[in-house]
Structure 1
């Protein structure tokens, strides 16, 4: 079985379990349970593999170490090493496989809910006072095993949880192969599946992979490694992780997320993709009002983001003394924080960095404060590198068309801006529009040609156009894509003489038919209908 087939098989298995066991529970609620338990199994298996590696010279296995006469000293030594290497510690009796076995084999009615709750709490407490404490703190707070959503009685709750653990225990996560990322990709797949059915709330934590791929490719360009990637509205972390797939090495992952549940999901997603806890720093607060004190003075080489479209924010005059906004002279309006996020990202962008963010089309042409900020970015700072129009209906929960802004502090094309209209390049799948691989490749190749100075290849009729800053100035800094990319299709000329002849033929045919009907009516002795 190929890697792709293994990945698809694992994804299908996990999604089947999720559908079979969800019952009447809301998809959003069950998402937290199924993803949390998959994460618990992942941590358990990693712990077991790591401990077995330590114990191998002594011919021992972690699962049976508690029966050894020197078990206490072994466990203490393993814990010290595991906390540093993995960031957490689990006893053999706390492993996923052990709880699944007990719940399934200790006779009918075996009750494990209390022990499971304790184990999840112990995972978090094992990190207390260590470098990983912040990365593992409250990770399982959304797995409320006392919730009535799991069942009306304690027995019903226990029965459902045992079923989930038993089904998951039957699936091999293949963590022994450290070169593949099957489980991480399957975890991402589940997040996407839940997002697709979550309606309006989906945009809070997930960016479709097709869009993630475009943003990632835009910010890494032809680089093979980057020092850092940052997402100020990171959701489940899919954008950050997508960047890692486009290069051989990412030094550090940084993000901020205001929703506590989504923040937990992001940290789990990082760990499930084998991102060591020392290499990521995710912060739980509102980015605009409470930026991470660890991040605010850092500069990042790559920045990707899909901020909440036209979100509300305070736009307090106090922000005019904030370094992120003060130089612009105006703040984004209270009802539309889109440019506030852009300003924040520019503040965090390194001099040699690239940022790409998804925004609603309104940022391209709305006036007042937004028009002022747009002009400042283009005329005073010269940061805008490209504007890319995407198809409508590619995001979960909203059908509005969106665009991508690409900004750099040091641009190769210092007096020009690339405009791409990809709004008609997609495939319709059921009710959703999907960007195909060829659509993504066309966007990226066009941008690369423009970035490499191949303007002739970068300008494609009815698709892309390279505008000078003078042209943008003449348009009063309105960036609406149709002003630059002419997609008008001329209709075929109509031959009026031919149309006249066809109408005459139709009239003659109607007249002949009328005569024929009149004849029949006369034979029948009735009046004609006309």
Structure 2
């Protein structure tokens, strides 16, 4: 149909039909987008022909459609000025988190899931290690409506079903998964988020029970305590934060001290600079574990193995 005069209408109708037949995509796809765009007919036809000539199924090991989608997501992230890597986490970092927490079986949660990249990569990790995708269920939450829709599409084109909550919503003010206890948490929350709550709001939230209330001037420790509250009895979390979260004073110091006394910190890994698309910031990977029994973890390409022991914290400086 590429050369038909009503091709833009045909594409819009197809998108609407896809949405109607796939409930997980409800509200995610653009409405009458191509009809409103005013594209040059011949250019649009040529674009469709070019896409049509790509053999997306030629190599089953390569997720061609997914790779193209990731490419445009990264371009979008740069164009939107999403500094600090909030929008798109580099694949190398996601792979490292997956290799260290080994999300094989159970519930995976991401409290700031962005476009869903963590979920895509963790499922690729499972497939690579001969695991079964059916043994995993996915839970996420995202604040920005556009990104929420992108996540739905990102997962749908790969046939991944997920519970992203009923809507795009603030994880702190409108938690979409209050009762969730996750076996694995993977996250790259916004760094150093200011004024994430009003002065007297969320002061008695059950998520910080047993800890100081995180300061409203910076959400780093609110993210950490939210994740700790969501961990199951043997749950493991791997997440990225700016290096400053390691040394904050005041309430942050007290919360950090309590987390260590509760023996939840398994590893702290400082990563090299310039790993993100739009910033050269150096970041830290935190591994938290509710059950630090001794066991060896094999990690490909670099770290050969490490042992988790009760009462110990592994520190790694990978900046060089």
Gaps of 5+ in 2: none
- What is the CA distance between 1:210 and its match in structure 2? 0.8
Classify the secondary structure of the residue corresponding to 1:229.
Answer: strand
Q: Measure, in 2, the Cα distance between the counterparts of 1:144 and 1:267.
A: 18
Aligned residue in 2 for 1:172: 55
Aligned ranges for residues 131-530 of structure 1 at < 5 Å? Answer: 133=23, 135-141=24-30, 144-147=33-36, 150=37, 154=38, 156-174=39-57, 180=61, 182-191=63-72, 193-194=74-75, 197-198=78-79, 200-201=81-82, 203-220=85-102, 225-247=104-126, 248-250=131-133, 251-275=136-160, 277=161, 280-283=162-165, 284-292=168-176, 295-312=177-194, 313-314=196-197, 316-331=199-214, 333-379=215-261, 381-412=262-293, 441-442=301-302, 444-445=303-304, 448-451=305-308
* Structure 1 counterpart SS, 2:217: coil
Structure number with bigger Rg? 1
CA-based RMSD: 3.0
Change over 3 Å in CA distance of 1:402–1:300 after alignment to 2: same
TM-score, normalised to structure 2's length?
Answer: 0.84
1:370, distance to aligned residue in structure 2 (A): 0.7
Cα shift at 1:189: 4.2
TM-score, with length taken from structure 1? 0.52
Query: 1:200: Cα distance to partner?
Result: 2.9
Residue in 2 aligned with 1:9? none
Secondary structure at 1:359 match in 2 = strand
Alpha-carbon displacement from aligned partner over 1:260-318 (angstroms, at most 9, x marks no partner): 2221221222122232x3xx1123212121111xx221111111000111112015433
1:340 alignment partner, SS class: helix
Q: Kindly tell me: are residues 118 and 328 of structure 1, through their superposed partners in 2, closer, same or farther at Cα, counting changes over 3 Å?
A: same
- 1:493 aligned residue: none
Per-residue deviation, 1:123: 2.5
Deviation at 1:339, TM superposition (A): 1.0
The equivalent position to 1:118 in structure 2, one of 6, 10, 13, is 13
1:289 counterpart SS class: coil
Pick closer, same or farther for the CA change 1:373–1:315 going to 2, 3 Å.
farther
Cα distance in structure 2, aligned partners of 1:184 and 1:325 = 41
Q: Displacement of 1:205 after TM fit?
A: 2.3
Q: Aligned pair in 2 of structure 1 residues 196, 316: CA closer, same or farther (>3 Å)?
A: closer
Go from structure 1 to structure 2 and tell me whether the alpha carbon gap of 1:142 and 1:115 turns closer, same or farther (over 3 Å shift).
closer
* Partner Cα distance (2:268, 2:137) in 1: 27
If asked which structure has higher relative contact order (CA below 8 Å, sep 6+), I would say 2
Distance 1:341-1:163 versus aligned 2 partners, 3 A rule: same
SS at match of 1:320: coil
- How many residues are aligned here? 305
Partner-residue secondary structure (3-state), 1:321: coil
What secondary structure sits across from 2:276 in the alignment? coil
Extract unaligned runs of 5+ from structure 1. 1-100, 128-132, 415-437, 454-465, 470-478, 488-530
1:462-491 Cα distance to aligned partner (Å, 9 max, x none)? xxxx9958xxxxxxxxx9x7xx97x9xxxx
